[in-house]
Structure 1
């Protein structure tokens, strides 16, 4: 597979915070917010220390959740027992493995752990799925492509509930959904893998983690379901700090969030007044409630607690407590010897706010590194792009807009020259006229600007009419625009965030996971086009 590197700005909607995090830290607020620049390699110089007892219990928990490990995974478990550091990433537990960027996150964690190990400090890759998340509607969908359309599959019998999604049991309907996916994937080998993992009676967490481990078995990827009581016991010092130091920690988060906004960035998570950094699961229903507090009194749903009662509950049932998005990485790094976290734009924004929590609770910060970002281009699509000299930026548009662009390019040279000459003449004469109007009267000039804008709009309309005529005359242009946007920008979304990773696993060979690991280095800090 060959690749081309583009600046991250080729993607639509990239936030200023993420752009500048990747490029430079001219604004001191960025240096204050993160543990290190993504281009630095200091994170791999030394693994965070854990007591031998902590490591032994951690490995025991991982062994129970990573049954029948591959040789590479077994080796990683022993490395972790012996003092290795961790490169971790995570994602929601999506149906049939979730979107393509889930594979990119896992591949980046594998690649970074390999780089650190080769540099002399052993590291292992771990994937931490968001099993305590409660947004079932968001994970209960998977998008696959046909020749002419994008098909979204859902489990209709699963309805939204305010409980942890990882524990949701897959209904009988999952068999039918996997069969639908099998047809769309043309009965590729990956479909047998999907049937093994996404089966009735399994939880979403079991299905998702089992699939991911099998895909990256040769790379020894380990998975963790932190909803288990044992992990909450290891992470309880962080949960306790969120109770005992609630006012201090929440004030620090709000101050950092405001500092980011004042500096022109955005705050990914807004902490409301009386809001805390914790959720509490109802013991009977499993429903998740935000813990709120004021003047030392706490409340979850309709149940009230004193601080001492809440601390006693944490000691007795730590698994009932769940950290919010800002506290979760700190909780994670209390449990794991994390040297680096692999995140996407939203998670990196979380870390910009979470740094103050790391400082107070752990006394150290974890470096956050960007996940691989890429668009995969199949040979047939690459051929169309070469034919029309299209780059990724042009492909990230609607089919209508791209078809017009192709029509404009296909226009006879004489037509292009005449349109260009007319447009240039109009701009030249209007600029001269408006300059004269400004010298006469400011109000006259403002009225002239309005009329000039209408004239320029009509000139652009002539360009569009000519391009549309050429497009309609050549039906293949529309077909090419439809094919490119369907594959690279389906339904107006970047491919990596929309199309299921399993769709590409079905269309490539067994070497695909290793191939994306090889492309997941830092040699391209922006967005890649990878040609399959």
Structure 2
């Protein structure tokens, strides 16, 4: 089976919002700026260039270099950081949580989408330069979302108490996880490389942000990736004017609520619910919502409170203590990056659609939104097995019940279809209806009831025959189930369930090369890659 693509709408795994966006449905056009194609980047460049200052560029490059600390940087990454100071340089950004050992597979797809798009733009627009950015979600506080990854059908979990921003968590306890992985991975060369990645990242760095930066930098060392931590006091100074409006005017709440209402009126779901104040208060071991009651500002679930004057003083003196939530983080990101495009999954893009009017109000250019590449890694051995079953890869995206039923109909030597019998029965009852019309209404009703009863009887017989054939053909159907279960663990997309290490164990760096070579970020189709 050669590598090929499947339209997202045909997979059954993507929302109507995303499918309509990819189809450039007219109803969605008020909710985004420009559709992701090469021509539109020219206009995005012009718009961003007018608003992004040289001072911000120099501050950004300086802070990024400081954040890297003593990490070894490739020449391409060093060059990209230096180029950020130039007014002709722009960024292509994706973001991700600090999941343990990258979490699900799609972490790789996000990063390669950004890298490959930056390269494509560098070839298209020779007078500009484009830098791929990984924005680490260091300020998130939901530890339960990131403290594990799946390996060989089991959870590898970092078990500890945690509070506050996850990027500041100490890496205490990860030595035990490393020892567990050594047993799971074995002694192959690829296993040793994986253990080296894990050990150097998580047991030689003091906090999760530093560990994640090291890991991502190591894995994508030669691709010019630049990693940014937004939890930075100097960068957050740029965000002070917007945070002040948030505290004093509830501006995002008003604008996002209206946009969200317009989206829901079109039949789309609300992805993120806007609050009156979309900021958290951030200190050591603490990240809690800021709420206002009768002119006083409280930090939820704590004894901390401020008057209006006090909280504005705190904002100007300690901007690092104010953390944007999921709705405000995009604005913060676009304010400190010379960014043209944000690359994310379907859920991420859904909340960006809620933000367009808010961005217009605060006069910050709204980036191009691009759905990250989605991939099914298909081992050749399974591909050959599927071919023997005369089944197309597209069929594996069906719910398992539908897949098995469809395959049973296809391979059964007995016709599991009583359509002819039903048509014959209906014809017989036509004659009875003609007779009934010559008598009275009660007989007409009795004829109708009898027809319904006998048609239901044929339906039940057809279902029983299908069930019997599923038993008779169970060997082949079980083989098909096994293939789907392996490729779609827990009846979900592989990329949302498996960790890259399962494939790296077998394919090593070839896995990374394959993804780099085959992911086209502007191809709006689901990608199937044979390994």
SS in 1 for 2:267: coil
User: Do the aligned residues in 2 keep the contact of 1:22 with 1:38 (CA within 8 Å)?
Assistant: no
User: Do the aligned residues in 1 keep the contact of 2:80 with 2:131 (CA within 8 Å)?
Assistant: yes
Residues 31, 431 of structure 1: alpha-carbon distance in 2 compared, 3 angstrom cutoff:
farther
Instruction: Name the counterpart of 1:276.
Output: 277
Task: Describe how 1:139-288 pairs up with structure 2 within 5 A.
Answer: 139-145=146-152, 150-156=153-159, 158-159=160-161, 161-170=162-171, 171=173, 172-183=175-186, 187=191, 189-199=193-203, 202-246=206-250, 248-272=251-275, 275-281=276-282, 283=283, 285-288=284-287
User: Do the aligned residues in 2 keep the contact of 1:269 with 1:350 (CA within 8 Å)?
Assistant: yes
How many angstroms apart in 2 are the aligned matches of 1:443 and 1:61? 83
Task: Describe how 1:264-343 pairs up with structure 2 within 5 A.
Answer: 264-272=267-275, 275-281=276-282, 283=283, 285-294=284-293, 296-301=295-300, 302-343=303-344
Residues 363, 77 of structure 1: alpha-carbon distance in 2 compared, 3 angstrom cutoff:
closer
Deviation digits for residues 287-311 of structure 1, max 9, x if unmatched?
A: 2211222554322224332332221
How many angstroms apart in 2 are the aligned matches of 1:446 and 1:314? 75
Instruction: Name the counterpart of 1:86.
Output: 91
Gaps of 5+ in 1: none
Residues 314, 35 of structure 1: alpha-carbon distance in 2 compared, 3 angstrom cutoff:
same
- Aligned-pair distance for 1:347? 0.9
SS in 2 for 1:292: strand
SS in 2 for 1:218: helix
State which drifts further: 30-39 or 501-510. Answer: 501-510
- Aligned-pair distance for 1:405? 5.4
- Aligned-pair distance for 1:108? 0.5
User: Do the aligned residues in 1 keep the contact of 2:274 with 2:327 (CA within 8 Å)?
Assistant: no
Residues 448, 350 of structure 1: alpha-carbon distance in 2 compared, 3 angstrom cutoff:
farther
SS in 2 for 1:518: helix
Instruction: Name the counterpart of 1:516.
Output: 515
Gaps of 5+ in 2: none
SS in 1 for 2:222: coil
User: Do the aligned residues in 1 keep the contact of 2:38 with 2:121 (CA within 8 Å)?
Assistant: no
Instruction: Name the counterpart of 1:425.
Output: 420
Instruction: Name the counterpart of 2:32.
Output: 34
SS in 2 for 1:81: coil
Instruction: Name the counterpart of 1:56.
Output: 58
User: Do the aligned residues in 2 keep the contact of 1:238 with 1:334 (CA within 8 Å)?
Assistant: no
Instruction: Name the counterpart of 2:18.
Output: 18
- Structure with max Cα Rg: 2
User: Do the aligned residues in 2 keep the contact of 1:241 with 1:361 (CA within 8 Å)?
Assistant: no
SS in 2 for 1:24: coil
How many angstroms apart in 1 are the aligned matches of 2:131 and 2:317? 32
CA RMSD of aligned residues (A): 2.8
Residues 117, 444 of structure 1: alpha-carbon distance in 2 compared, 3 angstrom cutoff:
farther
Residues 363, 488 of structure 1: alpha-carbon distance in 2 compared, 3 angstrom cutoff:
same
Deviation digits for residues 136-191 of structure 1, max 9, x if unmatched?
A: 1111111123xxxx2221123x24x4421122222142322432442398725333
- Aligned-pair distance for 1:79? 1.5
SS in 1 for 2:98: coil
Deviation digits for residues 442-498 of structure 1, max 9, x if unmatched?
A: 898589658745642441231122122221xx3x6524531x223310012100111
SS in 1 for 2:56: helix
User: Do the aligned residues in 1 keep the contact of 2:185 with 2:505 (CA within 8 Å)?
Assistant: no
Report the TM-score when normalising by structure 2: 0.88
Residues 257, 454 of structure 1: alpha-carbon distance in 2 compared, 3 angstrom cutoff:
farther
Deviation digits for residues 255-283 of structure 1, max 9, x if unmatched?
A: 111111111111101125xx3211112x4
How many angstroms apart in 1 are the aligned matches of 2:135 and 2:452? 56
How many angstroms apart in 2 are the aligned matches of 1:392 and 1:364? 41
Matched residues, number: 509
User: Do the aligned residues in 2 keep the contact of 1:408 with 1:467 (CA within 8 Å)?
Assistant: no
- Aligned-pair distance for 1:52? 2.4
State which drifts further: 230-239 or 2-11. Answer: 230-239
- Aligned-pair distance for 1:314? 0.9
Report the TM-score when normalising by structure 1: 0.87
Instruction: Name the counterpart of 1:134.
Output: 141
State which drifts further: 395-404 or 451-460. Answer: 395-404
